[in-house]
Amino acid sequence: MLVQDRQNPKPHQIPLANPFPESKPFDFSNWVSLNLFKLATLFFLTLTIASFFFLRGAPDSAAFLCFNSRPKPSQLTHLPKINFDSIHPLVDKSSSYASFSSDRWIVVSVSSYPSDSLRKLAKTRGWQVLAVGNSRTPSDWSLKGVIYLSLEEQSSLGFRVVDFLSYDSYARKTVGYLFAIQHGAKMIFDADDRGEVIDGNLGKHFDLKLSNVDTLQERILEFDFENPNKTVVNPYIHFGQRSVWPRGLPLENVGDVLYEEHYNQIFGGMQFIQQGISNGLPDVDSVFYFTRKTSSQAFDIRFDDHAPKVAIPHGVMVPLNSFNTLFHNSALWALMLPVSVSTMACDILRGYWAQRLLWELGGFVVVYPPTMFRYDDIEGYPFSEEKDLHVNVGRLVKFLSSWTSNKATFFEKVMELSNSMGEEGFWKENDVKLIGAWLQDLVSVGYIQPRMKGFEMKKQRKRRIGDGRSFVPKKLPGFHLGVEESETVNFEIGKLIRWRKRFGNVVMVLFVENGDVERTAMKWKLLYGRIFKTVVVVAEHGREDLGVEEASLEFIYKYLPMVFEKFPNAEGFLFLQDNTILNYWNLLQADKDKLWITYKVPQSWTRVSDDSVLFAKQADWVKKVVSTMPVHFQVNYKESNPTEQGLTICNSEVFYVPRQFVGDFTDLVALVGNYKIDYRVAVAMFFMAMDSPQNFDDIFSRMVYKKIPAEELSSNVTNLYAAEVPAVHPWRVSNEVEFAELMRLMAAGDPLLKELV
DSSP 665-720: HHHHHHHHTT----HHHHHHHHHHHHS-GGGSB-GGGG-EE-S--GGG-SS--GGG
Q: Report, as an integer, the average pLDDT of 287-306.
A: 80
More confident of the two residues 703 and 752: 703
Residue 261's pLDDT is 73
Band (pLDDT 50/70/90 cuts) for residue 712 is: low
Do residues 369 and 253 both lie within one domain?
yes
Give domain status of residue 244, yes or no. yes
Task: Kindly give, in sequence order, each residue whose CB lies less than 8 Å from that of residue 31, ignoring residues fewer than 6 positions away.
Answer: none
Band (pLDDT 50/70/90 cuts) for residue 536 is: very high
Residue 467's pLDDT is 56
More confident of the two residues 442 and 469: 442
Q: Report, as an integer, the average pLDDT of 486-498.
A: 62
Residue 296's pLDDT is 65
Rounded percentage of the chain residues whose pLDDT exceeds 70: 81
CB 311 within 8 A of CB 266: yes
Band (pLDDT 50/70/90 cuts) for residue 25 is: very low
Residue 749's pLDDT is 92
Do residues 504 and 592 both lie within one domain?
yes
Closest by alpha carbon to 654, among 556, 544, 571, 550?
556
Band (pLDDT 50/70/90 cuts) for residue 734 is: confident
Do residues 124 and 237 both lie within one domain?
no
Give domain status of residue 330, yes or no. yes
Do residues 464 and 503 both lie within one domain?
no
Do residues 158 and 219 both lie within one domain?
no
Q: Report, as an integer, the average pLDDT of 336-361.
A: 95
Domain end call among 183, 214, 240: 183
Do residues 170 and 213 both lie within one domain?
no
Do residues 234 and 178 both lie within one domain?
no
Give domain status of residue 390, yes or no. yes
In CATH, what number is assigned to the domain containing residue 613? 3.90.550
Residue 251's pLDDT is 78
How far apart (Å, rounded) are the C-alpha atoms in residues 710 and 138?
52
More confident of the two residues 392 and 542: 542
Band (pLDDT 50/70/90 cuts) for residue 534 is: confident
For the chain, report the end-to-end CA distance as a whole number of angstroms. 74
How far apart (Å, rounded) are the C-alpha atoms in residues 171 and 344?
11
Q: What is the mean pLDDT of the chain?
A: 83
How far apart (Å, rounded) are the C-alpha atoms in residues 581 and 745?
11
Do residues 147 and 216 both lie within one domain?
no
pLDDT of 45 above 80: no
Name residue 650's beta-bridge partners. Answer: 605
How far apart (Å, rounded) are the C-alpha atoms in residues 161 and 172?
9
pLDDT of 72 above 60: no
| Candidate from 146-155, 521-530, 685-694, 725-734 with smallest mean pLDDT | 521-530
Residue 185's pLDDT is 97
Residue 52's pLDDT is 36
Do residues 407 and 505 both lie within one domain?
no
Residue type, 344: M
How far apart (Å, rounded) are the C-alpha atoms in residues 317 and 307?
20
Residue 713's pLDDT is 61
Give domain status of residue 255, yes or no. yes
pLDDT of 348 above 80: yes
CB atoms within 10 A of CB 147: 22
More confident of the two residues 369 and 527: 369
| Candidate from 3-7, 273-277, 378-382 with smallest mean pLDDT | 3-7
Residue type, 583: N
**Pseudo-torsion of CA 334, 336, 340, 346, nearest 10°?**
70
pLDDT of 294 above 50: yes
More confident of the two residues 347 and 743: 347
Give domain status of residue 43, yes or no. no
As to burial, measured by CB atoms within 10 angstroms (0-12 exposed, 13-18 middle, 19+ buried), residue 219 is middle
pTM of the model: 0.58
Domain extent, residue 169, equals 95-183
Rounded percentage of the chain residues whose pLDDT exceeds 90: 58
Residue 147's pLDDT is 97
| Candidate from 132-141, 509-518, 550-559 with smallest mean pLDDT | 509-518
pLDDT of 506 above 60: yes
CB 652 within 8 A of CB 509: no
Residue 44's pLDDT is 43
How far apart (Å, rounded) are the C-alpha atoms in residues 418 and 430?
11
pLDDT of 76 above 60: no
More confident of the two residues 416 and 720: 416
Label residues 502-526 b or e (16+ Cβ within 10 Å = b). Answer: bbbbbbbbbbbbbbebeebbbbbbb
DSSP strands (E only) in 452-533? 469-470, 506-511
Residue 461's pLDDT is 47
Backbone angles phi, psi at 349, to 5 degrees: -65, -40
pLDDT of 408 above 80: yes
Band (pLDDT 50/70/90 cuts) for residue 71 is: very low
Do residues 359 and 421 both lie within one domain?
yes
Q: Report, as an integer, the average pLDDT of 386-402.
A: 83
Band (pLDDT 50/70/90 cuts) for residue 49 is: very low
Residue 456's pLDDT is 61
- pLDDT tens for each residue of 161-191: 999 999 999 999 999 999 999 999 999 999 9
pLDDT of 268 above 60: yes
Band (pLDDT 50/70/90 cuts) for residue 9 is: very low
Band (pLDDT 50/70/90 cuts) for residue 156 is: very high
Give domain status of residue 477, yes or no. no
Count of domains forming the chain: 3
| Candidate from 35-49, 51-65, 492-506, 569-583 with smallest mean pLDDT | 51-65
pLDDT of 17 above 90: no
More confident of the two residues 180 and 72: 180
Give domain status of residue 576, yes or no. yes
- pLDDT tens for each residue of 589-612: 999 999 999 999 999 999 888 767
How far apart (Å, rounded) are the C-alpha atoms in residues 342 and 171?
10
Residue 82's pLDDT is 87
Residue 442's pLDDT is 98
Closest by alpha carbon to 233, among 196, 259, 209?
259
pLDDT of 4 above 60: no
Give domain status of residue 4, yes or no. no
Band (pLDDT 50/70/90 cuts) for residue 479 is: low
How far apart (Å, rounded) are the C-alpha atoms in residues 127 and 202?
9
More confident of the two residues 690 and 75: 690
Q: What count of Cα atoms within 13 Å lies in the side-chain half-sphere of residue 432?
A: 25
Band (pLDDT 50/70/90 cuts) for residue 642 is: confident
Residue 523's pLDDT is 81
Q: Report, as an integer, the average pLDDT of 129-144.
A: 96
Percent helix, strand and coil across the chain, each rounded to 5?
Answer: 40, 15, 45
Do residues 243 and 329 both lie within one domain?
yes
pLDDT of 677 above 70: yes
Do residues 464 and 534 both lie within one domain?
no
| Candidate from 71-85, 343-357, 662-676 with smallest mean pLDDT | 71-85
Residue 513's pLDDT is 86
